[in-house]
Amino acid sequence: MEINFTHHQTAHCENGVVSNLMKFNGYDVSEPLVFGIGSGLLYCYIPFLKVNHAPAITYRVMPGQIFNRFAKRVGIKIKREKFKNPAQAQLRLDENLKNDNPVGLQVGVFNLSYFPEEYRFHFNAHNLIVYGKQEDTYLISDPIMENVSTLTSKELEKVRFAKGAFAPKGHIYYPVDFPKELDLKKAIIKGIKHTCKDMLAPIPIVGVKGMRFTAKKIRKWPKKEGVKKANHYLGQIVRMQEEIGTGGGGFRYIFAAFLQEASVILENTKLYDLSNEMTVIGDTWRDFAVDASRIYKNRSAKNDAYNDIAIQLENIADMEEVFFKKLKRAIR
Amino acid sequence: MKKSDIPQDRGSDDPSNFNELYYATDTEGNYVTGKSTGWDPKKIALDNAIEEIQERAEKAKQRVLNKETSPIEYYMELNKMDIPILASYVGFWSWRVKRHLKVKVFHKLSEKKLKKYADLFEISINQLKDIEYGN
């Protein structure tokens, strides 16, 4: 069976699943709108949590939060289910497909056969849509891929029951209840307010404070951790910033696209100007990545090189602090 | 970033055909989407991460050959895992997996436990016991 479902490529998987499922259900909601209303933008540095042997850094909120917040703010309901038993998980998936209901799944990417090899780490918060089944093969719409793919039931079970941090446990989800019309205006304002609050949070490892905290750490890395580790840590920052799904510049461009759309919906020209400012900030993030990659490419560990990078990051933090304060005022 | 500036850095020797979606502005300053074949700074970061894993696996291999650690450590590194991830896959506590990395403990492991590891790494028990098996 195959559901009449249209695949649209997006930058990020969770936004993409939400946007594509909404489109299937007759609501034309773009990826940036999902990302903005779901308050996806964030910066967080978690020094005590190691991912691939380096401190964890994230440029977005926890997996699942974008959809949850989006749903709450526009007034749709999501059904979510996790499973202990793989057979049960497959049964529930097949039931939905039989009912012509494409569903979102949380999966691990390590065993995702169609994924580019260099991205296949033990990362368990990837999202995709299943829109059909032919004999033993599932039809997959992975929003970050250009085209649709397939997975055998065995392959799908493996990624649905990947283990480790954020283990998906067969997590299946789909929207079940829609309002007559989506109240986008209110939802956008709520989304923006939340992002401003997060980015300006008085918590040392979050938002602009988190960037300054990271800058301080970067300065210490070459001496404290040695050249090799310092380079590896720096590489992790860039990988997280530019990993598939960020649309470049650690999600800053998607957020700028969202502000542009929001300026039209809310008829607020201030948001258009702020979108331009966010674009500049995104460009600055990319400059940062270029300079950081130069350090670990040359494997040099001149202290001043690390110092320069730290100064750049502090500069971005200053820009974003000014920006989010302005944004907060613009929607009052 | 302007749409015309979206990086297209895929090398001609790169067999992958994965293009990523980017958000960028058109000549009027409006946001549109475009495709990127790759970006060098990111590629360098990814290559470094892969190299790091290969180095870790190579080091583990030497330690196995010197009988300083059990082959489980080598296969763990080869599969980009660490002890907590490995533990959750085989269903043992982390401290037990850590014990299984000791050469002496490894030699006393039951076939059942060995099979769990071998199945996870998708190798035979012979390969698990001897990392150079069949070479």
pLDDT tens by residue, A161-195: 999 988 999 999 999 999 988 999 999 999 999 99
Residue carrying structure tokens 């999600």: A251
Strands (E), A122-225: 126-134, 137-141, 149-152, 172-177
pLDDT at A23: 96
Cα gap A196→A42, rounded to integer Å: 9
**ipTM value of the model?**
0.92
A165 token code pair: 């941090």
* Helix A269-298 × helix A252-265 angle, to 10°: 180
Q: Which residue has the higher pLDDT, B15 or A256?
A: A256
Kindly state whether A226 is in contact with chain B, defined as any CB-CB distance less than 8 angstroms. no
Chain centroid, CA A78 distance in Å: 19
Number of helices (H), then strands (E), belonging to chain A: the values are 10, 8
Q: How does residue B47 score in pLDDT terms, banded at 50, 70 and 90?
A: confident
Q: Under CATH, to which class is A13-37+77-177 assigned? A: alpha beta
Which structural domains are found in chain B, ordered by start?
3-38 (no CATH), 42-129 (1.10.260)
Residue A112, pLDDT above cutoff 90: yes
Contacts of A91 by beta carbon, 8 Å cutoff, 6+ apart: none
Distance from CA of A285 to the nearest CA of B (A): 11
Mark yes or no for CB contact B84/A260 under 8 Å.
Answer: no
Distance from CA of B2 to the nearest CA of A (A): 9
Cα gap A241→A106, rounded to integer Å: 21
Mark yes or no for CB contact B22/A238 under 8 Å.
Answer: no
Q: Which residues pair with A195 in a beta bridge?
A: none
Domain boundaries, chain A: 13-37+77-177, 184-330
User: Is A61 strand, coil or helix?
Assistant: coil
Among candidates A8, A15, A9, A7, which has minimal Cα distance to A251?
Answer: A15
A199 token code pair: 């980015």
B68 token code pair: 């300083």
Q: How does residue A301 score in pLDDT terms, banded at 50, 70 and 90?
A: low
**What is the H or E stretch that residue A185 is in?**
helix A184-199
Among candidates A258, A321, A315, which has minimal Cα distance to A285?
Answer: A315
Can you spell out the DSSP letters for A97-126? HHTT--EEEEE-STT-TTS-GGG-SS---E
Q: How does residue A227 score in pLDDT terms, banded at 50, 70 and 90?
A: confident
Kindly state whether B78 is in contact with chain A, defined as any CB-CB distance less than 8 angstroms. no
Q: How does residue B46 score in pLDDT terms, banded at 50, 70 and 90?
A: confident
Q: What percent of chain A is helix, strand and coil (3-state, nearest 5)?
A: 55, 15, 30
Distance from CA of A299 to the nearest CA of B (A): 10
pLDDT tens by residue, B6-41: 999 887 767 677 899 999 999 999 999 999 998 988
Count chain A–chain B contacts defined by CB atoms under 8 A. 110
Residue A219 · residue A310 · CB < 8 Å: yes
Residue B92, pLDDT above cutoff 60: yes
Residue B59, pLDDT above cutoff 90: yes
Residue A244 · residue A144 · CB < 8 Å: yes
Provide, as residue numbers in chain B, all residues whose Cβ is less than 8 Å from the Cβ of A256.
23, 31
